[in-house]
């Protein structure tokens, strides 16, 4: 998997780009360096492409929000179909959870999906690059047979590029989706639905 230039709620609002109560790039209370993931903070919008063995290729729009919390980061993403003529279609996927930076210097992403899957990713951040692999995957009885995933995020020329490989059914790990996202104005609300605005990208 590669990236290239080609393709929280509280009484008081939280600035998603503001630092948390600790210096992520510096030492935590115990003196152990924590991973730095603040470059992911903000509201992002964009578009991507997807496919998988046995699946037709498709285009999608995406909104991603990463917001600072007193400890860690809130994470929310949703995607929707984009037709070849550029018109927007049905909702595709939604996920929400938390991005965490433990004292051992690793990064954890804990997610729940509307598809009936919950998963924990573990990985590391190097500069403005984050690579994560599933450590735990839990599925409901009605969920598709998804087994494992690998995610790669990177900030390139002020754009967030990301890619996702997965193993599902009888298929071993293979490329599934990738996208290019741009940060929109801090504090701009997410649209109520994909018909509110066209994706950027």
**What pLDDT, in 10s, does the model give residues 110-130?**
999 999 999 999 999 999 999
Please report, for the chain, the start and end positions of each structural domain, with discontinuous segments joined by +: 38-185
pLDDT tens-place string over residues 26-62: 444 455 567 899 999 999 999 999 999 988 999 999 9
Q: In the chain, at which residue ranges do the beta strands (DSSP E only) sit?
A: 42-52, 55-68, 73-82, 88-100, 107-113, 117-126, 129-139, 146-156, 159-168, 171-183
User: How high is the pLDDT of residue 189?
Assistant: 46
Residues listed for the chain: 201
pTM above 0.85, yes or no: no
CATH fold of 38-185 reads Lipocalin (2.40.128)
Residue 83 has pLDDT above 90, yes or no: yes
Evaluate if residue 195 carries a pLDDT over 50: no
Sequence-distant (6+) residues with CB within 8 A of 103 are: 28, 30, 32, 34
Higher per-residue confidence, 36 vs 10: 36
CA distance 68 to 18: 7
How much is the mean pLDDT over the chain? 82
- Count other C-beta atoms under 10 Å from residue 186's C-beta: 13
Q: Work out the percent of the chain whose per-residue pLDDT is above 90.
A: 70
């Amino acid at each position: 998997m590669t990236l290239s230039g080609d393709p929280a709620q509280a009484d008081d609002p939280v600035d998603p780009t503001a630092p948390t109560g600790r210096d992520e790039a510096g030492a935590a209370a115990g003196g152990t360096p924590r991973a730095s993931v603040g470059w992911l903070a903000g509201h992002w919008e964009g578009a991507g492409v997807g496919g998988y063995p046995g699946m037709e290729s498709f285009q999608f729009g995406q909104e991603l929000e990463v917001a600072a919390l007193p400890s860690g980061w809130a994470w929310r993403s949703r995607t929707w179909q984009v037709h070849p003529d550029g018109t927007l279609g049905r909702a595709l996927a939604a996920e929400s959870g938390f991005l965490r930076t433990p004292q051992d210097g690793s990064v954890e992403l804990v997610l729940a999906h509307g598809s009936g899957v919950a998963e924990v990713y573990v990985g590391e951040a190097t500069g403005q690059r984050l690579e994560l692999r599933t450590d735990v995957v839990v599925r409901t009885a009605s969920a598709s047979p998804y087994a494992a995933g690998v995610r790669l995020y990177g900030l390139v020329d002020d754009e967030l590029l990301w890619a996702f490989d997965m193993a599902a059914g009888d298929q071993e790990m293979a490329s599934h989706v990738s996208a290019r996202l741009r940060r929109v104005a801090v504090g701009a609300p997410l649209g109520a639905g994909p018909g509110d605005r066209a994706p950027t990208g």
